Structure 1
Amino acid sequence: MVAIAFAPWDALLKQYVDDQGRVDYRTWQQEQPDTLNQWLSTFQSPDFSLELPRDQQLALWINLYNAFTIARILERYPIPSIQPKILGLPNWAAFLWFFSRPAHVVAGKRYSLADIEHKVLRSQFQEPRIHFALVCASIGCPLLRNEAYWPDRVEEQLEADVSRFINNEDKVHYDSQTQTLYCSQIFKWYRQDFLQVAPSIPDYIRRYLQIDRPLDAETPIQYLDYDWQLNQRISA
């Protein structure tokens, strides 16, 4: 197996991301403004081979998606949100361009964040757990790990990611009085991915929820508002 140097990315995450997934962009930008892009540049060469075992590819692409996202934020920081506004209204064109711009080179080929998510990860792996690992830098996203994904641990890490997300009441909670399941828009946007492995969204959530709830296909669902504010930790 070819060893990919995830250690530089792992070290940056450990230094600038806390255990709640909040990123200290200001300190990162001041102390190591170029380190992340230098690491990402090591994957640009056409000679870099993507012919890798499944778990190594999975760890690689999740790490790259998150690293490219963080690098884009570091270039623009300080910003309050990844959703830019004009005169107080969302600038959807600029927002979509953030994800659709083919600005990232891997193995000599240009990718957008959307390409990595949809054409690589979703298409090739058919793995719904990635939706709790890919981080778009907003509060509504899954929490960013303060460590890299590793090929020999990626399955364990993804399982932990799903559990952490579903057991976070800001992302998923059940109202016993109304018997309604409230959950993140992620379950709506990628509904078909979850239905590949579970008969319904409530059934998928029930697998990981640590408190027993009467969830099944008949459980009413309400989707929570998505918070696009930047997920950041303000340094002293």
Structure 2
Amino acid sequence: MIDFAPWDALLRQYVDTQGRVDYQAWKREKPQALAEWLASLDPQNIKFDDNQNVELALWINLYNALTISTILERYPIDSILPKILGIPNWLAFLWFFYRPAYRFSGRRYSLSQIEHKMLRKKFQDPRIHFAIVCASIGCPLLRNNAYWPETVQQQLDEDARRFINNPDKVRYDSQTSTLYCSKIFKWYRQDFLKLARSVQEYIRSYLETDVPLTDATSISYLYYDWNLNQMEKRG
């Protein structure tokens, strides 16, 4: 059985309820703890026994842990989108996601492979987009606890509700009848359309307020903030 407890403990210690990470304290106090947990998984001959929730929890945890581990290695940084003389370095940004730098269970993976092949392709569940976190403010809020096979479905529902009811990610302007939402709904539109007629309908199914959304409601996509999801630096 995969032991998520070390990862869970680190999240509870260094991530707040708003998904902000205390990278400064994490790197100072336990710089090797996450890397050691990830290394402990590599030799394991992981067997899922046809339990998709075990596999789902594993890959979500692994994606987030690998991302945080990479940030800790490079910290201090202010953004996952580096700049050279003020110009975004998109090649370095893409390399962050596409380099096959992570060894797990005898194979090498990139963050992109985990997201698109191990999660999106296999599970066909758009709630995944509210769970995996690329360490930017524009991403979903990082949970301050691990995903567990017994509760992962409930956790994904919570993630979807938290994201869609967060006005920084989704909001409706009644004066202009415009739905403003994260670019995640643009980039992965086809994933949401597998479960709903439109992005508007998918969003409406999770909203906790009565908003007059229809399939024809105008959509405008919000600015995506690539700055690091870090707590305010101290000292």
Please, what TM-score do these two structures have when normalized by structure 1? 0.97
Q: Give the whole-Å Cα distance in 2 for the aligned partners of 1:182 and 1:69.
A: 28
CA RMSD after TM alignment? 1.0
**How far off its partner does 1:214 sit?**
1.1
Match of 1:29 in 2: 27
Q: Could you say what secondary structure the match of 1:222 adopts?
A: strand
Q: Distance in 2 between matches of 1:39 and 1:200?
A: 41
Match of 1:45 among 20, 43, 65: 43
Task: State the secondary structure of the residue aligned to 1:221.
Answer: strand
TM-superposition CA deviations, 1:101-148 (whole Å, max 9, x none): 101111100000000000110010001000000000000000000000
Aligned pairs (5 A) from 1:50-199? 52-199=50-197
SS of corresponding position for 1:99: helix
One-letter amino acid matched to 1:125 = F
Give the number of equivalent residue pairs: 234
Separation in 2, partners of 1:63, 1:181: 31
Q: Is the 8 A contact 1:171 1:224 kept in 2?
A: yes
* Runs (5+) with no aligned partner, structure 1: none
Distance 2:8 2:41 in 1: 16
* Equivalent-residue separation in structure 2 for 1:93 and 1:24 (angstroms): 27
Moved over 4 A (4+): none
Other-structure match for 2:213: 215
Give the conservation status (yes or no) of the 8 Å contact 1:166–1:208: yes
Q: Does 1:232 align with 2:203?
A: no
TM-score normalised by the chain length of structure 2:
0.97
% same residue: 64
**CA-CA distance at 1:48 after TM superposition:** 3.4
Aligned equivalents of 1:28, 1:134: Cα separation in 2 = 20
Which range is displaced more, 123-132 or 51-60?
Answer: 51-60
